[in-house]
Amino acid sequence: MFQTPGQKFAVTFGAVYLLIGLAGFVVTGFDQFAGETYDDTLVVFPLNPLHNIVHLALGVAWLIAAPRPHLARQANLLIGGVLGLVTVLGALGILRFLAIESLGSPDNFLHLVTAALSLYFGTATETTEASTV
């Protein structure tokens, strides 16, 4: 079903982000929805409920797009671009309400790596796409 590298990436990272979003709610509950106190962490990543919802939305978007090669590619490009922007805005301290503190924060580094991988898989040649569309 998931034949192209872009589809495999989308389903894998979709599942991972969905699980991270759910695990985040186990840690944070629903208190301080967009709070800027970072008492709640998942491993080393600061969280709040708003951040968890963003992770759930990204996971769902990837999973919805994964079955279709062209949609997986487009989702990878879009999400990669958004996460790249989030990395820059987080480095500038603009996204504190999402518990993204600075360029040196583990969360911002994770977004940078995810953005780079997502953009790579969004632009990689999909050799089997022509035969499955």
Quick check: 118 and 129 in contact, CB under 8 A?
Answer: no
Q: What is the pLDDT of residues 38-81, one digit of tens each?
A: 677 788 887 888 889 999 999 999 999 999 999 999 999 999 99
pLDDT value, residue 101? 62
State the first-to-last Cα distance of the chain, in angstroms, to the nearest integer. Answer: 12
Domain contains 74: yes
For residue 133, being part of any structural domain is answered with no
Q: What is the pLDDT of residues 79-97, one digit of tens each?
A: 999 999 988 888 887 876 6
Statement: residue 102 has pLDDT above 70: no
Predicted confidence at residue 92, as pLDDT, reads 83
Percent of the chain with pLDDT strictly greater than 70: 83
The answer to whether residue 119 sits within a structural domain is: yes
Identify the H or E element spanning 89: helix 69-91
Q: Which residues pair with 42 in a beta bridge?
A: 45
pTM of the model: 0.84
- Give the span between the Cα atoms of 11 and 65, in whole angstroms: 8
DSSP state of 123: H
- Asked whether residue 75 is domain-assigned, the answer is yes
How many independent structural domains does the chain possess? Answer: 1
- Measure CA 49 to chain center: 15
Q: Which amino acid is at 66?
A: A
Q: Which domain holds residue 50?
A: 5-127
Distance of CA 23 to the CA centre of its chain: 14
Instruction: Tell me whether residue 100 is in a domain.
Output: yes
The pLDDT-based confidence of 129 (bands split at 50, 70, 90) is: very low
Quick check: is 64 in a domain?
yes
What pLDDT sits at residue 127?
58
User: For residue 25, is it within any domain?
Assistant: yes
Closest CA to 2 of 94, 93, 76: 76
With residues binned 3-state (H G I as helix, E B as strand, rest as coil), the percentages for the chain, rounded to 5, are: 65, 5, 30
Nearest to 66 by CA among 123, 118, 11, 18: 11
- Domain assignment of residue 34, yes or no: yes
Query: What pLDDT was estimated at residue 19?
Result: 96
